[in-house]
Amino acid sequence: MTDLVVPLLAGTMAAATPLVFAALGELITEKSGVLNLGLEGMMLMGAIAAFAGATTSESLALGVVCGALAGAATAALFAVLTLSLLANQVATGLALTIFGAGLSALVGQGYVSRTLTGLQPLAIPGLSRIPLLGPVLFTQNVLVYLSLLVFAGIHWFLYRTKAGLALRAVGESPESAHAVGYRVIPIRYLATLFGGALAGVAGAYLAVAYTPMWVEQLTAGRGWIALALVVFATWRPGRVLAGAYLFGGVTILQLHAQALGLAVPSQLLSMLPYLATIAVLVVISRDVQVIRVNAPASLGKPFHPGD
């Protein structure tokens, strides 16, 4: 039994990590009142930048940094258009996804056939020998551990710091926040850039750790799942983490089902994570009051200090 459970749980953590990074970044962005639907594009830009940086420099760490910078740069483009030029956030986010998919495919043409030795598991001495939990929690690569640290840091920031309170105030009522002296636009810029950087790290994880290679559309829709996770979690970090592991488990479960030779078409099994996303959103959408109470009140609404 352990031989089946341990690989399943360990694989769930690995599969969930890009969702954790991307969804937590989007959570911070949306907490400021900005709705960025361009997660998929930012993740793809982060993935190709990380793979190109790692293969060129022969440093996986530098590749991850390149991925984060590429994600932040793509988010900066979104921020300029929506926060400074007051473009529609929904339309701009969708355009950003298309832009990221196209540009990453163009840049990645020369990297399709290249190979890369990805991040290796890092066993934590002592802890990795704990029965069951050790192989699951403490034999992962460094980015999996980093995702948990990012979660803890974001939870602390949002609910234990004055800066987190300011961010939430801007997301709830930018007019009131501006009236008491908070600089709404700079705060939203920083939140958007942070979200883009984490989306870039999510893409980098796919390119240098999870599947250390580059192909077009490497993210395979994970950006959209991460967007759905934020709603599924009702904008709470703990629920984001739990939701990411839930969807990661569904992803790994369909791979194990294929390996066990279940008489189910592989195409149907591959659809499971996305079907689960739709099912969860349908269930949540039935309770409009929950979404209305927990969603930032100014989400997606433009703000200009001169208004």
Domains with residue ranges and CATH for the chain: 2-294 (1.10.3470)
Looking at the predicted structure, is the pLDDT value of residue 307 above 60?
no
| pLDDT of 20 | 97
Looking at the predicted structure, is the pLDDT value of residue 123 above 90?
no
CA distance 7 to 15: 12
CA distance 7 to 16: 14
Q: How many CB atoms lie within 10 A of CB 304?
A: 12
The residue ranking higher by pLDDT, 282 or 189, is 189
Looking at the predicted structure, is the pLDDT value of residue 44 above 90?
yes
Mean pLDDT of 78-102: 96
pTM: 0.94
- In whole angstroms, how large is the CA radius of gyration of the chain? 19
